[in-house]
Chains A and B, each alone.
Chain A
Amino acid sequence: MSNEVKEALFSAKNMQSLTNPFSRNNPVIVQILGICSALAVTVQLKPSVVMALSVTVVTGLSNLILSLLRKGIPDRIRIIVQLVVIAALVILVDQVLKAFVYDVSKQLSVYVGLIITNCIVMGRVEAFALSNKPWPSLLDGIGNGLGYGVILVIIGFVRELFGSGTLWGVRIIPESFYEAGYANNGLMLFPPMALILVGIIIWVHRSKNTDLQEKE
């Protein structure tokens, strides 16, 4: 046990729980968690980034808090305790968003509230925080939140660029293109295209990481 206490704050193992979720163990495309919000808020880049940051804050803090509480929570009622902690954190995030970025908060509408039922948060608490120390849990939460954020930003980037020709609200595709007959891909703005994009990202990712492919 004494070895664990002496373990450095940024030891290789701890760094792994921070970096693994970016690709090898990405919450969205490998664990297939938290899809609902990943798809619904990605019509534009800005809400995607805000959502990614909010989820990172919630996963990080909920992992930290529940890891601190883990020895005091009776097993039978743990789901309710987890939900209460997560819901309280989400309320905080929601109030902060309403205060500082009101327009984005309006755009995200119910999806901020749905961070509570975002399976990434619950999943990481159940799988990691309840059986690990606070510091690695915090890193794991932040890592997973950012891993989720990477996918959100990729999808948001593609959908805004091809769907409306802008990025972060700034026009990227020049007027001369439109005059030459280029048209925005309206389908990118509709929900189904987000699903297909996730499918394609999974395809590319698993072609590179063959060990993740499903066996017969």
Chain B
Amino acid sequence: METLNLFIKSIFVDNMVFAFFFGMCSYIAVSKKVKTANGLGLAVIFVLAATVPINFLINKYILSPGALTWISDSFAGVDLSFLSYILFIAVIAAFVQLVEMVVEKFAPALYNQLGIFLPLIAVNCAIMGASLFMQQNNYPNAGVATVYGLGSGIGWWLAIVIMAAIREKVSYSHVPKALKGPGIAFIITGLLGMSFMIFSGIQL
């Protein structure tokens, strides 16, 4: 039950985009068409659901204070947590590279849809942000961390698809000239964020 709560919470209440502004750069840049937005969103879900548990294991067995005791008791006092940024980003960049190669080899059709977005994802702050929050929140096991990654990814996908659908319609309306493009996109995101704030009242 707790896990289900975490899942729903990470989609709606702690939405990556509206509550933490994660992945804003690609969110604004790629939300002009629903189709491309959908592709990037799905790629983010996949990468998040995979990298959060990997980084969870790294954090648990290598980085956190006293984590190295599984090698030998003499490592009990070692605290490597200052290395977490560099290890997390290395895992993410390597994973993204790997996924890109695997998808290109075995599913060329999917690669044509997702391919161009995959390199973008390595520097999408949503991925790194989720790993850092996972480290901060101390989830009990890798399963829960996976659920958190999956939920956050779905939240991000939901946000970018909604945004792209709105922007497709907005392009037909008379927006003030200086506000066209990114300006109106920010204001729409702000209004969407306000409407997502209603979820914060839900007690889970």
Contacts and interface: CB of A to CB of B under 8 A. Distances in A.
Interface in A16-35: 29, 32-35
A83 B186 contact: no
B178 A213 contact: yes
A154 interface: no
B59 to A, nearest CB: 13
Interface stretch (B43-51, B118-126, B138-146): B118-126
Contacts of A199: 179, 183-187, 190
B89 A202 contact: no
Contacts of A80: 90, 93-94, 97
B193 interface: yes
Contacts of B129: 36, 110, 114, 117
Given A32-B182, A94-B85, A116-B85, 18 more contacts: A32-B29, A33-B25, A36-B20, A36-B24, A79-B93, A79-B122, A83-B93, A88-B86, A110-B129, A116-B128, A117-B127, A117-B129, A122-B123, A192-B18, A192-B193, A200-B187, A207-B178, A210-B178
Overall SS of chain B's interface: helix
Contact of A191 (B90, B93, B193): B193
A173 interface: no
A35 B18 CA distance: 12
B19 interface: yes
Contact of B186 (A88, A202, A206): A202
Contacts of A210: 177-178
B22 A203 contact: no
B89 A195 contact: no
A69 interface: no
B183 A117 contact: no
Nearest to A34: B25
A23 B189 CA distance: 23
Contacts of A214: 180-181
A195 B86 contact: no
A192 B94 CA distance: 34
Contacts, number: 141
Nearest to B122: A79
Interface of A: 29, 32-37, 39-40, 79-80, 83-84, 87-88, 90-91, 94-95, 109-110, 113-114, 116-119, 122, 190-196, 198-200, 202-207, 210, 213-214
B181 A83 contact: no
Interface of B: 18-25, 28-29, 82-86, 88-90, 93-94, 97, 119, 122-125, 127-129, 132-133, 136, 176-187, 189-194, 197
A117 B19 CA distance: 18
A195 B189 contact: yes
28 contacts: A32-B29, A36-B21, A36-B24, A39-B21, A40-B20, A83-B89, A83-B122, A94-B85, A110-B129, A110-B132, A113-B84, A113-B85, A114-B129, A114-B132, A116-B85, A116-B128, A117-B89, A117-B127, A190-B197, A191-B18, A192-B190, A194-B190, A195-B21, A195-B186, A195-B189, A199-B186, A199-B190, A210-B178
A192 B191 contact: yes
Nearest to A35: B24
Contacts of A33: 25
Contacts of A109: 136
Contacts of B82: 91, 94-95
A113 B86 contact: no
A95 to B, nearest CB: 7
Given A110-B133, A119-B123, A192 B85 contact: no
